Amino acid sequence: MVKKLEPIIEFKNFTFKYRSQVEPTLTDINFRVYPGEKVLIVGPSGSGKSTLAHCINGLVPFSYKGDITGEYRIGGKDPKDLGIFGLSKMVGTVLQDTDGQFIGLTVAEDIAFVLENDNVVQDEMKKRVQDVALMVDIDRLLENSPRELSGGQKQRVSMAGVMIDDVDILLFDEPLANLDPATGKKAIDLIDRITKEKNVTTIMIEHRLEDVLYRDVDRIVVIGDGKIISDTTPDQLLSEDILESQGIREPLYITALKHAGCEIDSESKPQHIQSMNLTPYRERLVNWYRTKEILNKNLSDEKLLEIQDLSFSYKIDKPILEEIDFSVQRGEILAVAGKNGAGKSTLASLICGFLQPDSGRILLKGTDIAPLSIKERGEQIGLVMQNPNQMISKPMIYDEVALGLQVRGVPEEEVKQRVYDTLKICGLYPYRNWPVSALSFGQKKRVTIAAALVLKPELLILDEPTAGQDFRHYTEIMEFIKDINEQYGITIIMITHDMHLMLEYADRTVVMADGKMIADDTPANVLTNEEIASQAYLKKTSLYDLAVRCQIDQPADFVDFFIQYDRNMREKEKVKCQES
């Protein structure tokens, strides 16, 4: 008789309510994970995904207090009996913000931390650190400080730190949030390899569904409003409309097939575009594409910003940027893309005056801005950083937006009028007397944009405007940015490694790799070019693979057509919602 496998994680009629809240965050959760499974958990922000993760790794109930009904087991035991230390021996967690996990001064020290606590002898400790570092390909970085590493390398150090203790469960909280597409691809590869080689159970929480599905997962659990909406295989889920109904972005090739009127069948194995059976859909897709009419945005001939042969280095003989040369038309939305550490944010700092170039010039409306101070540049060029919490300095919304005008000595009556006008543009006028702390992340992002817009800049630079956002908040932020571009003529530069954002919203993409500019082209051309994608750590869009596999001659035109069609569909939906 074959012994039935016991679940390693099990929730039965489980409900959890934080003490500070009126309603439960998780309601009636019934959920099992078996040893060796790889499970992806998806859902919109605030759906309860992170709380479920906190229950698995012990932060609930030991750090985050609340009321629990029902029961749950980790490794067959009640977490209350194990304690947070006991759970840490079973569950290794890799956080979205890896900086928050580092303890050691060097990579080796950081990995060895748990072994030191267990009084492991030094020779064995060194061998185990070396072995796990080899597994995650950081053996050459053991003497480096974790703070010196790239986002992808930091993540590998965090993975090594939890793997060295031989945990049974690996829990990844948004492992791709801060990684460029190619590094994200490597991370998914590594997670897949470790799951198989170490025979561990892997739980991933991630917004970037299509990127995770680069490698197989056993199940996808969809959470919405604190409840499990679906728990099924990727092939089954992609043949249903659950993702769309929950505001979760489907893989782009699935959306394209649905736009063409195809009904996805789980039998066609839609989890991977490379192996999906496209025979039932090809004719309908090609006929849909033949209806194409690609309209190009009319841009001004005026060059608003010109970057001329710009070079910069923090250290002699270690250039960060070399001879960067491009221009931005008035009214354009330009994406600056490239791998982590390519020099994108450094370029923004040079434009804003935080850094001075070693050589080259920056022209605004044909005039060299080298003599202008940071304050003077700020009146024409607005910068919005990735994390709004790093920019906000006032407790109240009105005061934050008014600050830039007040330090410039603008009369108070004019300040009030301009702040109110700007808050209306940004959809924040009803909250004008609210504290910033009462806002969501997306609303805080709008406050930082409002603080830049109130100065009436001609150019707005946005650093990773949608990092870590679910699809609904991503769309909300980007549609707002698109509106201020179209209605108020503000030119936008977006620093991003989000391919979807580039395709959907940018008129043009400048691509950087290793401090050099390697492309200046349409987003569709960039993301259908294997050589550029490889050099810049981008990833070819799955729309390209769909076009090639369906024998469409011009994949870049197909991508352009899809983007315009998809945008038109969303515009119609927005109008319909406004009318109703």
pLDDT at residue 179, rounded to an integer:
76
Residue 357 has pLDDT above 90, yes or no: yes
pLDDT band of 187, cuts 50, 70, 90: confident
Distance CA 336, CA 339 (A): 10
Residues sharing a CB contact under 8 Å with residue 219, sequence separation 6 or more, in sequence order: 37, 39, 40, 231, 232, 233, 234
Residue 129 pLDDT level (bands cut at 50, 70, 90): very high
Q: Given CA atoms 33, 39, 45, 50 in this order, what sign does their dihedral have?
A: positive
Q: Are 26 and 226 within 8 A, CB to CB?
A: yes
> What is the chain's mean pLDDT, rounded?
90
Q: What is the mean pLDDT of residues 123-141?
A: 91
pLDDT average, residue stretch 148-153: 77
Q: Give the pLDDT score at 294.
A: 62
Grade residue 477 by pLDDT with cuts at 50, 70 and 90: confident
Contact 405, 454 (CB under 8 A): yes
Residues 196-224, mean pLDDT to the nearest whole number: 94
> What number is the average pLDDT over the span 346-360?
95
State the alpha helices, DSSP H only, in 457-549.
Answer: 471-488, 499-505, 523-526, 530-535, 542-549
Percent of the chain having pLDDT more than 90?
Answer: 62
The rounded percent of the chain whose pLDDT value lies above 70 is: 97
pLDDT confidence tier of residue 4, bands split at 50, 70 and 90: low
- CA neighbor of 359 nearest in space, from 317, 313, 315: 313
Which pLDDT score is estimated for 444? 85
| Residues facing residue 171 across a β-bridge | 93, 203
Which residues, other chains included, contact 126 with Cβ-Cβ below 8 Å and sequence gap of 6+? none
Residues 6+ apart with CB under 8 A from 62: 83, 84
Q: In the chain, what is the straight-line distance between the N-terminal and C-terminal CA atoms, in Å?
A: 61
d(CA 356, CA 377): 13
Instruction: For residue 97, name the pLDDT band (cuts at 50, 70, 90).
Output: low
C-alpha span between 325 and 151 (Å, rounded): 27
Stated pTM of the model: 0.84
Which amino acid does the sequence have at 206?
A: E
CB 155 within 8 A of CB 94: yes
The Cα diameter of the chain in Å comes to 85
**pLDDT value of position 192:** 94
pLDDT (0 to 100) of residue 514: 87
* Inter-CA distances, 25 with 17, 47, 66, 206, Å: 5, 8, 10, 19
Using CA atoms, how far apart are residues 125 and 104, in angstroms rounded to an integer? 15
d(Cα 170, Cα 266) in Å, to the nearest integer?
A: 29
DSSP-derived letter for residue 284 is H
Instruction: Give tens-digit pLDDT for 303-341.
Output: 999 999 999 998 887 889 999 999 999 999 999 998 777
DSSP-derived letter for residue 435 is B
Q: What is the pLDDT of residue 171?
A: 96
Q: If pLDDT is split at 50, 70 and 90, which confidence band does 1 have?
A: very low
pLDDT digits (tens, 9 = 90+) for 462-471: 988 887 677 8
Distance, in Å, from the CA atom of 271 to the CA atom of 237, rounded to the nearest integer, reads 9
Q: pLDDT band at 499, cuts 50/70/90?
A: confident
**Per-residue confidence at 2, pLDDT binned at 50, 70, 90?**
very low
| pLDDT tens, residue by residue, 230-287 | 999 999 999 999 998 998 999 999 999 999 999 999 999 999 999 999 999 999 999 9
Write the pLDDT tens digit of every residue in 413-447: 999 999 999 998 888 899 899 998 877 777 888 89
Q: Is residue 552 within 8 Å of 286, Cβ to Cβ?
A: yes
CB 35 within 8 A of CB 198: no
- List pLDDT tens digits, range 8-39: 999 999 999 998 788 999 999 999 999 999 99
Number of H helices and E strands in the chain, helices first, is 23, 19
8 near 168, Cβ under 8 Å? yes
pLDDT in tens, 211-230: 999 999 999 999 999 999 99
Looking at residue 285, its amino acid is: L
pLDDT at 3: 46
Are 558 and 267 contacting, i.e. CB atoms less than 8 angstroms apart? Answer: no
Q: What mean pLDDT comes out for the span 88-103?
A: 83
Question: Quick one: tokens of 350?
Answer: 């040079």
Position 301 pLDDT exceeds 90: no
Q: Give the model's pLDDT for residue 247.
A: 87
